[in-house]
Amino acid sequence: MLKGKTALVTGSTSGIGLGIAKALAQQGANIVLNGFGDAQGPKREIEALGVEVDYHGADMSLPAEIEAMMAFAAQRFGRVDILVNNAGIQHVARVEHFPPERWDAVIAINLSSAFHATRLALPAMLAADAGKGWGRIINVASVHGLVASAEKSAYVAAKHGLVGLTKVTALENATTGVTCNAICPGWVLTPLVQKQVDAKAQALNLSNAEATKLLLGEKEPSLQFTTPEELGALAVFFCSPAADNVRGVAWNMDGGWAAQ
């Protein structure tokens, strides 16, 4: 379905971002990866799906590096047809104890980076398809873009902001072939979340299964993790003709979290 298209996925060397990149690659899209840590393993995984893949290590807190990444993608593949703004970090503390530099970092990477990548991707998307426009902007927000949790002020503020940016971007391009939507996951079993499960198991002397159930039971009625593969399938739907008129939604995959 996406053969000949190029998808740039930020924060895609592991976890949710890599799951979405692989799902888009399975539909034929060429992929530009971005993120910290090892890039060679993820590159090989995606190359095995039969598409072209490249990597840019832009620090998503720095606008100049985001500009360099977008220029690299355009030079390598012509343009970015699908932009997935997934890069994100977390810091947990009460507001009065929240280090200002951590607030700035969370807002920069979780929110401002999506603005910068979007503004740079839009001109080529709007010029595509003989000027009718074609593009997909998918912002990976969070259930915390819809509801709040204590001690996550920067993350919740950034994700609420990302949902707002999604709506504005969708409205500004509503008469074109460019859509913008947000995915709002609940708990996803990424390496970061596994560390939280392990810490809870150790602190409370629980088995991994018991700690997992306790973690999920606090927020997620389904008592099961959303998977990167499920999130990837939703991203593929957003890129499909069936989603041509899906615009500005914040689609939660959260096991009932926000329904409570």
Which residue out of 55, 103, 134, 155 is catalytically annotated?
155
Burial class (CB in 10 A: 0-12, 13-18, 19+), 195: exposed
Q: Tokens representing 249?
A: 């939604």
Amino acid identity of residue 210, one-letter, is: E
Amino acid identity of residue 199, one-letter, is: A
DSSP class of residue 143?
G
Is 155 assigned a catalytic role?
Answer: yes
Which pairing describes strands 82-85 and 53-55: parallel, antiparallel, or unpaired?
A: unpaired
Q: Backbone dihedral region of 151: left (phi > 0), alpha (psi from -120 to 50 degrees) or beta?
A: left
Residues identified as active-site: 155
